[in-house]
Amino acid sequence: MIRVRRYTSQIEADRAASYLRAHGVYALVVNSHIHQAAASMLGNLKFTQLELVVSTEAHRAAAEALLEEYASLPPMPDADLDAASAPDLSRLDPRAHPIECPDCADDLPLDASISACDSCGEPVDIVDLLLHRYGPEALQDCYESTPIPDPPPEMLEQMAQIARERSRIACPHCGHDIADLPARGRCPACGDLFDKDDPIRRR
């Protein structure tokens, strides 16, 4: 897989990937774990970044051009962002998720756009009331989700290769696979000490 951009925001990365896929360039967002060995008194620091990746160099060139175009688009208005992120409460069963007005105890309709109780006029937040009463799990089916299409075969092979490489831990001295051995010990092939938690002492 070929990195196109790095992001620190999951939302920004996902939107960029969706824009590329909508324009014919298959892109994925993956985590990139960068290990740095700090001074022994500080231990090891681990940083996580999000990478936008494509499968080929040709796709990278197209992705770069599309991302330049994407960056020039006007930002989505706050009202549109709110509408896009609002849950569709019509997917809930009112009998299983009844909500009452905190002030007058009248039943409230499951409608995220409602801002005040019809009976008493007091302000209400339907989504907040649902979250407090039933937890976030109750709303998990209320958001639109865009299915990600299957990656092209060449990217599948690249992803499989990366998974194989990440699952293999080699002895830093001789390269023997020590993935199934304890976190610390001696390599059965060469006798060298290894420590899987120390990036300097492992490959």
Residue 62 and residue 126 share a domain: no
Angle of CA points 109, 113, 114, to nearest 5° = 50
Residue 133 and residue 75 share a domain: no
Residue 128 and residue 92 share a domain: yes
Written as one string, the DSSP assignment of 37-77 is E--TTT-EEEEEEEEEEESSHHHHHHHHHHHHHHHTSPPPP
Residue 23 and residue 70 share a domain: yes
Least confident span in 106-110, 148-152, 192-196: 148-152
* Strand-strand pairing, 44-54 and 193-195: unpaired
Where in the sequence is the domain holding 96, given as residue range(s)?
88-139
Contacts (Cβ under 8 Å, ≥6 apart) of 16: 5, 7, 27, 52, 67, 70
Which of 139, 155, 180 corresponds to the end of one domain?
139
The most confident of the ranges 12-21, 70-79, 130-139, 191-200 is: 12-21
When divided into structural domains, the chain yields a total of 2
Instruction: Give the model confidence (pLDDT) of 104-124 as tens digits.
Output: 999 999 988 889 999 999 999
Contact 27, 20 (CB under 8 A): yes
Q: Where are the alpha helices (DSSP H) in 3-152?
A: 10-22, 57-71, 78-85, 126-134
Q: Say yes or no to pLDDT of 46 above 50.
A: no
Residue 41 and residue 5 share a domain: yes
Residue 44 and residue 17 share a domain: yes
Contact 131, 81 (CB under 8 A): no
Q: Say yes or no to pLDDT of 146 above 70.
A: no
Residue 42 and residue 21 share a domain: yes
CATH number at residue 21: 3.30.70.1530
Residue in this structure with the two tokens 């499968």, named with its chain if needed: 55
Which of 60, 84, 108 corresponds to the end of one domain?
84
Residue 25 lies in a domain: yes
Half-sphere exposure of 117 (CA within 13 A, CB side): 17
Residue 199 lies in a domain: no
Higher pLDDT, 41 or 119: 119
Higher pLDDT, 199 or 156: 156
Residue 105 and residue 73 share a domain: no
Distance CA 144, CA 15 (A): 14
Residue 65 and residue 4 share a domain: yes
Q: Say yes or no to pLDDT of 131 above 80.
A: yes
Residue 117 lies in a domain: yes
Residue 102 and residue 26 share a domain: no
